[in-house]
A and B are shown apart, each in its own frame.
Chain A
Amino acid sequence: MIEIRGHARGGQGMVTAFEILAKIFAEIDDYQVQAFPAFGVERTGAPIQAFLRVSREKILNRSNIYFPNLVVVFDETLIAQVPVLNGLKKDGAILLNTNSKIEDIKLKTKNIYTIPATQISLDKGLGTKSLPIVNAAMIGAIIKILDIDINVVANIIADNVPTKPKENSESAILATKNILKSKNITDELKKYLNEDSLDENNLDKDIVFKSNNQILDFPSWNKPMSINKTGNWRVVTPKYEEKPPPCSTNCPAGTDVRLFVKQTSEGKFADAFSTIYKFNPFASTCGRVCPHFCQQSCNRIELDSGLNIGAIERFLGDKGITRKFSKSPISKTEKIAVIGSGPAGLTSALRLRQKGYEVIVFEALPYAGGMMRTGIPSFRLPLNILDKEIEAIEEQGVVIKLNNKVTIKELSNDYDIIISAVGSHKSNKMKIPGEEFATDGINFLREFKLENKNYDINIGDDIAIIGGGNTAVDIARTVLRLGAVPTIYYRRSKNEMPAIPHEVEEAINEGVNIKLLTTPISYNKNSNGKIVITLIDMILGEPDKSGRRRPIKIEDSEKIISVNKVFSAIGQTFDDYVFEGKKVKVEQGKIKFENNKPVFCCGDMAWGGTVTEAIGSGNFTTDEVVAFLKNQNYSSKDNPVNVVLPADINYNYYLPTPRHENPVVEMKSFINNFTEVVKGLTEKEVIEESKRCLHCGECYSCGNCYNYCPDAAIHIDELNRLRIDYDYCKGCGICFEECPCSAISLKMDEVVNESSVN
């Protein structure tokens, strides 16, 4: 007869494991078996014992096992709390669930087997995050020690586990391959399976470990309950841990969105503005024109609708930009030239100026702001808003030289660093017959806005716009305001349109026509001066490199339309004048360009395509420039880990609350009306909206953990902070489950109480 004693924590599945082992032995070879638990305080995490006897004879002993041949420990922390080796026979062995090396294990026996059962179970997704169920792996290890073919028993395991049969039998099989044993181990336990049981009276000399009959650990029942420190029942440990929210991690500019929303909800508008300004000097602009990647990834979308972060940012920007900005002294010797005064160039210039470098911005046009000024119509971004933000940058010491179209070479003698941020202002060509009849869309937007050229567009004109990006949509909405009838032709479907979705919707609401899955193949001009476009229909094929489905022409689907004007808006590229026409591979940060001074790039010409991405690009390049000047290695920030996702949020604790939408101005007529279409929210609305924040990954002291902790192990300390008392926390994981915002993590490592307040 072999006698096996198991030590585990309630919830690890040991009792089931021993039952399954009993079934295995009875099934494979008609053994007599007996498996039973020694019930103690049967709660999750409590130390428990179970017993297994396997014999060729009828088993005539129904008591606990005091002299085991094999001791099995499901949780290694039990070794310090329970005399697991008690009564172990001299040639007996211990099987320990641990990741530790055998030589690092301090035990009074040399016969040690180890198995990383917790790791195997976590890998196979068995159990919960607070308590991995390790029993299948432990069964596999025991089966291996007793030299039984796992393939014979894998199906018995699968048949007898309550859930996940495949994962359980797989982890048992995996365990047989991962079991390790100490050097010089006796490793002959299997022989006891077929031997008669030993007379207990003759046992004494066989016992190496003192038996005090006290292998069960009962809580003290006749003293105050506080002496029963149950913290050592823990398998995993809950810990308050701030995690990155999706809004902040998805902001291309790097803004701490969660923080400024929180500050706004507390009415601390100036602080909130500073939070944004640290990363983004164009809060007012971005509040209006950014596609708000933060909003798109907001976890609140799963509940009702995402937070209107754009409106909050716009409010903060409009309020904050009126403040007085101070100029930092020039403390560094290096001079830096920035070519281009768009969002990337100005952000980079401001950052470097704030750090004490002298920065001069060279702008080819007679006005600063880049695409923000030339490409975005004033009904989306009023000029005075942009002016204020650029003035603030100048106020802080950045010098902008307008009407200065320069090359890198020209600047290289006077400056130590040259940053090229010239943007993408040159329209791409379609390379189709008759392209000369098409009008350059990006030029039109600029010249119309800043030079009042209306390109002879008359009321009632049919205007075709080719493309699906923001330029196309902005042209359509502009010509609509000139009384024309705009139609956008886009070669893919609406889903693939690169334009900001809500801008597309607004355009459609205003009356812009959109024809999808069609593209021009030639332009011509007919006798009455109209432009004739031959269009061909498209179908979507496999996804291309951008992840969007590739449009494929449908044979013989050509049709002809005639319009008064056709605008081409199929994307832009940068003007290579800055490189004197040389072919250069542009990318964010330092580029390879033959020059006596180092050259960096940022903005649309290198990356992105929206204002916010350009700002982020400016920040990125700034950091690299600073590192370069300090002779340090620059490594871009790692991708954030543990970002809070909808699955981490406990939505039950949030009430659905309607989103505060930006009001849209109702206009009787669009003709010649270029006033801003979308309005901001009031202060009251902004505060209410910011209070809709779920606080993803950051404790907001809701007290759920405090209320739900079944062991009253969570308290509020002298500084009014929630704290876990690890002397009593059993690791049940309820606080983790009930935390609305995922501010608590479960950790495998042990944690002890902090010493008082610090």
Chain B
Amino acid sequence: MNQVLTDKKVTKINQKYPRHTQKVLKGNYAASESAVLCHSTVIPAYPITPQTSIIEELSNRVSVNKFDATFINMDSEHSVFAAAMGAAMTGERVFTATSGQGLFYAHEVLHGIAHFRLPIVICNVGRPSIPWNIWSDQSDSISQRDTGWIQYYGESSQEVLDDIIQAYKISEELNIPVMVVLDAFYQSHTSENIWVPDQELVDKFLPKKKLSGSEIDLNNPKSFGGLVPPDSYGNFNHGYWNDIIKVEDLTNKVGKEFEKHFGRGYGAVEEININKDTKQILVTLSTITSTARGVIKKHPEVGILKIRLFKPFPRKSILKVLSDSNVDKNKCKIITFDKNFLGDSEGALMQELRRALYGENYFIQGVYVGLGGRDVPPSTVENIIETCKTNNDEIIWIDS
């Protein structure tokens, strides 16, 4: 027998999920796996580093008849999203993935998809633009935050897989598209343990897509995309607004429902070690959260607020965490980790948090960290914690 088994310590990770298969998958393959489990029916695609392996895997599965979907090789991301839009209009469940420049190029169509109210789920593997760089960064997805898409940021391969399943549920309920964002390489190309649910489990949670009746129908011709005059235009926005404000609650509700089916629960935000004695709250997006979790084990006075739903920004959930935990506004600093630079003083996370906490009188500090794939080892997180103990600058560039 394998020797390791004989001197095995008590396994600390004993969480087992019934009706799941344990695997080791990269974030990108988790995304592909999830798209298949969700019975996506149309995949228009164009490759770009570091997203390529998502669509490669889907293309491969379609080619060997292991995935019943139409895979369309497009000539650019603009076309990819146009095709996605058209396919969604016919009532198909559409999935695609892109990254960086690809997402920038698709910007125009992103608006179209959102305001045509088309339920589409995509993955974006974050990378920046210029200076040219292919590594992990969130400026691509965050600069699309005003296009009308819901955005989730996952921490692990498991979360990517789970988020896509929940995203279809939410997207199809509200007819708003969802972007599930992965960190390049730290998530997209990292092989790690993951529980893949059985197909029946997913099918029960996410039934077949219901048609709304407004799809393209050859027997019932309609016009799409006609010119909307000033007197009607605002009505469309108002209708959209009525639904977008439901996203936060729906995210929490669907996250709880997901837990009932799958055993793993999710919310718009996650609080870690936040209480009345907390001196620092690190506000994080995606994979940096994992490393921060490790670091704060030695810092009982530091907590983490992980933002999973970034757009629309979960104001209610954040306020609830802060008030329920009796955080002392006079002693506690809130520190945002911004892995994006968008041409303003604050990074996007700090902007959003300031907006959310307007009038609440919290001390908010913004830290730029991990831009363009700069590694964020535990020592960097330590450095932030130490620096912010004494340094009260509004904005800190920790790596430079």
User: Does the CB pair B4–A62 fall under 8 Å?
Assistant: no
User: Does the CB pair B12–A57 fall under 8 Å?
Assistant: yes
What residue in chain A is nearest B377 (Cβ atoms)?
A63
Contact residues in A for B375 (Cβ distance below 8 Å): 63-64
User: Does the CB pair A62–B191 fall under 8 Å?
Assistant: no
> Would you call B351 an interface residue if the criterion is a C-beta within 8 Å of the partner chain's C-beta atoms?
no
Interface residues of A in 138-197 (CB under 8 A from B): 146-149, 152, 190, 193-194
Interface residues of B in 344-379 (CB under 8 A from A): 375-379
> Would you call A22 an interface residue if the criterion is a C-beta within 8 Å of the partner chain's C-beta atoms?
yes
User: Does the CB pair B192–A34 fall under 8 Å?
Assistant: yes
User: Does the CB pair A149–B186 fall under 8 Å?
Assistant: no
Q: Given that A37-B185, A61-B290, A61-B294 are known contacts, is A26 also in contact with B4, CB under 8 Å in the complex?
A: no
> Would you call A410 an interface residue if the criterion is a C-beta within 8 Å of the partner chain's C-beta atoms?
no
Contact residues in A for B5 (Cβ distance below 8 Å): 28-29
Contact residues in A for B298 (Cβ distance below 8 Å): 199, 201
The range of chain A's interface size is: 35 or more
Mask of B122-136 contacts with A, CB within 8 angstroms, 1/0: 000000000000110
User: Does the CB pair A29–B190 fall under 8 Å?
Assistant: no
A-B contacts counted at CB < 8 A amount to 112
A432 to chain B, nearest CB (A): 69
What residue in chain A is nearest B29 (Cβ atoms)?
A19
Complex alpha-carbon distance, A18 and B11, angstroms: 23
What residue in chain A is nearest B131 (Cβ atoms)?
A221
Contact residues in A for B377 (Cβ distance below 8 Å): 61, 63-64, 66
Contact residues in A for B293 (Cβ distance below 8 Å): 60
User: Does the CB pair B378–A19 fall under 8 Å?
Assistant: no
User: Does the CB pair A29–B379 fall under 8 Å?
Assistant: no
Complex alpha-carbon distance, A38 and B135, angstroms: 10
Contact residues in B for A23 (Cβ distance below 8 Å): 24, 191
> Would you call B66 an interface residue if the criterion is a C-beta within 8 Å of the partner chain's C-beta atoms?
no
User: Does the CB pair A56–B12 fall under 8 Å?
Assistant: yes
User: Does the CB pair B4–A33 fall under 8 Å?
Assistant: no
User: Does the CB pair B378–A63 fall under 8 Å?
Assistant: yes
User: Does the CB pair A34–B190 fall under 8 Å?
Assistant: yes
Contact residues in B for A62 (Cβ distance below 8 Å): 186-187, 190, 287-288, 290-291, 376
Complex alpha-carbon distance, A201 and B379, angstroms: 9
Complex alpha-carbon distance, A700 and B271, angstroms: 72
Contact residues in A for B93 (Cβ distance below 8 Å): none
What residue in chain A is nearest B3 (Cβ atoms)?
A147
CB-contact partner of A29 in B4, B185, B294, B378, under 8 A: B4
Q: Given that A22-B24, A28-B4 are known contacts, is A39 also in contact with B13, CB under 8 Å in the complex?
A: no
> Would you call B227 an interface residue if the criterion is a C-beta within 8 Å of the partner chain's C-beta atoms?
no
> B1, B2, B382: which has the most chain A beta carbons within 10 Å?
B2
> Would you call A58 an interface residue if the criterion is a C-beta within 8 Å of the partner chain's C-beta atoms?
yes
B319 to chain A, nearest CB (A): 28
CB-contact partner of B376 in A19, A63, A148, under 8 A: A63
Complex alpha-carbon distance, A34 and B186, angstroms: 10
Known contacts A34-B191, A62-B376; 17 further A-B pairs (Cβ under 8 A):
A15-B189, A19-B24, A23-B24, A27-B24, A29-B5, A29-B8, A34-B190, A35-B190, A56-B9, A56-B12, A60-B294, A61-B291, A62-B186, A62-B288, A62-B290, A148-B4, A190-B3
Give the B-binding residues of A (Cβ under 8 A).
Answer: 15, 18-19, 22-23, 26-30, 32-39, 56-64, 66, 146-149, 152, 190, 193-194, 199-201
18 residue pairs of the A-B complex, CB under 8 angstroms, read A19-B26, A22-B191, A26-B24, A26-B193, A29-B2, A32-B193, A33-B193, A34-B191, A36-B189, A59-B290, A60-B294, A60-B297, A62-B190, A62-B288, A147-B4, A148-B3, A190-B3, A201-B382
Give the A-binding residues of B (Cβ under 8 A).
Answer: 1-5, 7-9, 11-13, 22-24, 26, 50, 134-135, 185-187, 189-193, 287-288, 290-291, 293-294, 297-298, 375-380, 382
